[in-house]
Amino acid sequence: MDLVIKNGKVITPFEIFKKSTILVDDGKIDSIGENLAIPDDCEIIDAEGLNVSPGFIDVHTHGCGGFGMYDSSYEIVDKMSQCYAKGGVTGFLATLSAPGHTLWKKNVKAAVEAFEKGTNGAAVLGIHDESPYKHPKKVGAANPKGILKPKVNEFEEVFEACKGTLKLVTLAPELEGGLELVEYLTKHDVVSSVGHSFATYEEVGKAIDLGLSHACHTYNGMRELHHREPGVVGAVLSREEIMAELIGDGFHVSPVAMKILLRCKGTDKVSLISDSTEVAGLPEGTYKFPWFKERLRSDSIIVKDGKAFYPKPTIGSIMPESVQIAGSAATMNMIVKNAVNLVGVSLKDAVKMASTNPAKEFGYGARKGSLEVGKDADIIVFNDTFDVIATIVNGRVVYQK
């Protein structure tokens, strides 16, 4: 055996064992149970009084700890991976949201290299293209000058550049060419997601019929629910085909709206995400990065009270300055904490939404997303205030507090 985690409250898909042991051998979970014999000469983590769960899988994140997907180098992605590990993430989809395709092509090389070489923290499980195919009314924090209409012949070059790592594409399906792109993605086993969209309920339904099965940061950047036009939100809430992302930072979405989503969808059809940017995990202050003005609506972001916002109201916004959202400053352990403390979700269900659900959706369910014998030893240890004490990726301790 290589590693033993003992005395922890182990969260499995079947039950929570109050005081149990996990044996890890050759990167896999070998045994889970009480009173297991602990071999000599192996690394031991004593999880007395702590929670032990599968590592979180964040399918929508742009950066962390001062590093972002727009700095385009393997070294930066590796530093990001180590920051993610501190928040309990063991795997993530490197999320790109560049204006147009020029910057995107430059950045994707780093993500592919990190996928192929591996990292020293959380593993890159693939790429999420939060594409420039946005409706002008739902651009969000992105620079509106960079939006495009989807064209399959142009996107084929993007697809090829990903070298088989592309897992998820977010787009507004109502745009000219949108349905053709959804059809293309379905044919190539890539999950298509509705987001930054002003589609009607009927338009979303047409996309679902062609294979669309995911919703990007539910409630944010999508046509709202109206009792005569249910819009994108209505489709997400009512169509069982859709796996709904939820930014659980308590800022992007009201806890009441979170509860409504969970009552409509159930915990099997919601995936917790951070949608974090470079400022996640950083102390309060004002931050500038060289690519902000090209990619976003401003050249700076303010972090205060765990939130990220612009210093001035964004173009066309009717919201007050205090809630000019500029992405998320949250880490995944805080997202899971909020699901439990703000929404009242059980710890087991919160972990499921942050690990099991995304693993299943993107084809990793046989290997990742739950603590079961034979699966990859992607494990985290955290206390009752959700501070991460240790993160293990493929049986290797990549972070220990």
- Under 8 Å CB-to-CB from 199, ≥6 apart: which residues? 135, 172, 173, 174, 207, 222, 223, 231, 232, 235
Using N-to-C axis directions, what is the helix angle for 201-209 and 178-187, rounded to 10°? Answer: 30
- pLDDT value of position 291: 64
pLDDT tens for 30-50 read: 999 998 999 888 999 999 999
- pLDDT value of position 347: 97
For 139-143, 334-338, 363-367, which range has the lowest pLDDT when averaged over its residues? 139-143
Name the 3-class secondary structure at 57: strand
Residue 330 DSSP class: -
Q: How far apart are CA 76 and CA 66, in angstroms?
A: 10
**What's the whole-number mean pLDDT along residues 82-97?**
96
Q: How far apart are CA 30 and CA 47, in angstroms?
A: 18
pLDDT tens for 180-207 read: 999 999 999 999 999 999 999 999 999 9
Structure tokens, 60? 């929508």
- pLDDT value of position 316: 47
CATH architecture, domain 3-53+366-400 = Roll (2.30)
Burial 31-63 (b: 16+ CB within 10 A, else e): ebeeebeeeeeeeebebeebbbbbbbbbbbbbb
Instruction: Tell me: pLDDT of 313 over 60.
Output: no
- pLDDT value of position 299: 73
Residue 142 DSSP class: B
**What's the whole-number mean pLDDT along residues 262-289?**
94
**What's the whole-number mean pLDDT along residues 15-39?**
94
What percent of the chain clears pLDDT 70, i.e. is strictly above it?
Answer: 93
Instruction: Tell me: pLDDT of 297 over 80.
Output: no
- Under 8 Å CB-to-CB from 236, ≥6 apart: which residues? 194, 204, 215, 218, 222, 242, 244, 261, 265
Residue 96's φ and ψ, nearest 5 degrees, are -110, 140
Tell me what the pLDDT averaged over the chain comes to: 92
pLDDT tens for 55-71 read: 999 999 999 999 988 87
Confidence of residue 308 (pLDDT cuts 50, 70, 90): confident
Show the DSSP H helices in 138-244 as ranges. 152-161, 178-187, 201-209, 231-238
Tell me whether strands 379-382 and 388-393 are parallel, antiparallel or unpaired. Answer: antiparallel
**What's the whole-number mean pLDDT along residues 9-21?**
94
Instruction: Tell me: pLDDT of 170 over 50.
Output: yes
Under CATH, domain 55-278+332-361 is a member of which superfamily?
Metal-dependent hydrolases (3.20.20.140)
Q: How far apart are CA 254 and CA 343, in angstroms?
A: 10
What residues does 56 pair with on adjacent strands? 89
Sequence letter at residue 283:
P
Structure tokens, 88? 């309990």
Instruction: Tell me: pLDDT of 319 over 90.
Output: no
What residues does each domain of the chain span? 3-53+366-400, 55-278+332-361
